[in-house]
Amino acid sequence: MPAPILIVGQGLAGSLLAWEFERAGIDFEVVDRGHAEAASRVGAGIINPVTGRRLVKSWRVDALLAAALAVYREMEAALGARLVRPMRVWRFFADERERRIFGEKSAAGELAPYVPPAGGDGEGFWIEGAAQVDTAALIRGMRARLLGAGRLREETFDPGGSEARRERDLTILCAGAASTPERDFGFARLRPAKGEMLTIETNGLDRETILNDGHWLLPLSATRAKVGATFEPGVADRAVSEAARKRLRESAARMLGRAFSVVDQEAGVRVTTADKHPVVGRAPGNPQVGIFNGLGSKGALLAPGLARQWVNHLTEGVPFDAAVDVARFVVPGG
């Protein structure tokens, strides 16, 4: 009898993969040491349909958003925890260039249905259909579920140890920055990116509105919010810095226009790719090893659909989407 598929890592990717495998009746087990510094434990879980200086729709948001939210709602019911809340975003214009881009794209309908007609003024504009996923609560709930089912071993996966050498049909690496995929996926050149955020206290926050001026301000209550995140590509340490604190304080001051106090500062490390798209698939030449990584800052939107791709691949032989298949980094004849 074949050994269960091994999922290495129980962050957002590993948790969603375990959820989808359970629903599909795929035999699996998870190994994870419970590292508190995982990016999805400190991440904001924001789904923002319109992003960037060029004011573009988030990659494939039209196709992915409704399905992702449906998955999170199903998980809420099963885990008994509130995981997702609808939000809207007030996006401040950075400069006259952004005002011009907004006017052109809004007039052409390129931002519909997320930016309502006449949804802006000289200071900024509204983005509807956003959401915030409580990734830390999701991971906690799935951890309890997996432990209760006897599917989770709380230990460190050693890529050179006996577990890695055990004969399995498939081991899927989902450990984010803690993963060590160089042996089988070094060609993908996955890169760390450090991000820091603050927790602040102030008065009069609207819990349904995210503020964004390049950084975001996410209300947690009427008096507490998170502000983030900085982005340092190539940096993998998790030490908080005074420079990041200063930048985030300045952004919070601009967005709020009133006094606030900083009560905490956190850092996490995400995994990014050269084309900013995630990676899933099997290692070329070693199909017993798979990967689910590179979610970057869009994990809350992308992870449910990518987990479903793994299920479709395993149950029906469906190829991975070429835009996310790790094989896209393989140089022909290389």
d(CA 129, CA 63): 13
Q: How far apart are the first and last CA of the chain?
A: 36
Residues pairing with 240 in the sheet: none
Per run of 10 residues, the mean pLDDT along the chain (length 334 residues) is: 88 97 97 69 86 94 98 98 97 95 92 87 95 96 97 85 67 84 82 95 97 96 97 93 98 97 95 93 93 94 98 98 96 65
Cross-strand bridge partners of residue 233: 193
Q: What is the largest CA-CA distance in the chain?
A: 65
**Predicted local distance difference test score (pLDDT) of residue 114:** 97
Assess contact for 210 and 48: CB atoms under 8 A. yes
Spell out the domains of the chain, with CATH numbers in brackets. Answer: 5-45+136-190+275-329 (3.50.50.60), 46-133 (no CATH), 191-272 (3.30.9.10)
Position 165 scores a pLDDT of 46
User: How confident is the model at residue 116, as a pLDDT?
Assistant: 86
For residue 259, what is the enclosing H or E element? Answer: none
Rg of the chain, C-alpha, whole Å? 20
- The number of C-alpha atoms within 13 Å of 91 and in the hemisphere containing its C-beta is 26
177-210 in b/e form (b: 16+ CB < 10 A) is bbbebeebbebbebbbbbbbbbbbbbeebeeebb
The Cα 194–Cα 243 span in angstroms is 13
Which of 56, 124, 104 lies closest to 298, judged by CA? 56
Sign of CA dihedral 41, 47, 53, 56: positive
- Give residue 119's pLDDT: 77
d(Cα 114, Cα 23) in Å, to the nearest integer? 31
Would you say the pTM of this structure is higher than 0.85?
Answer: yes
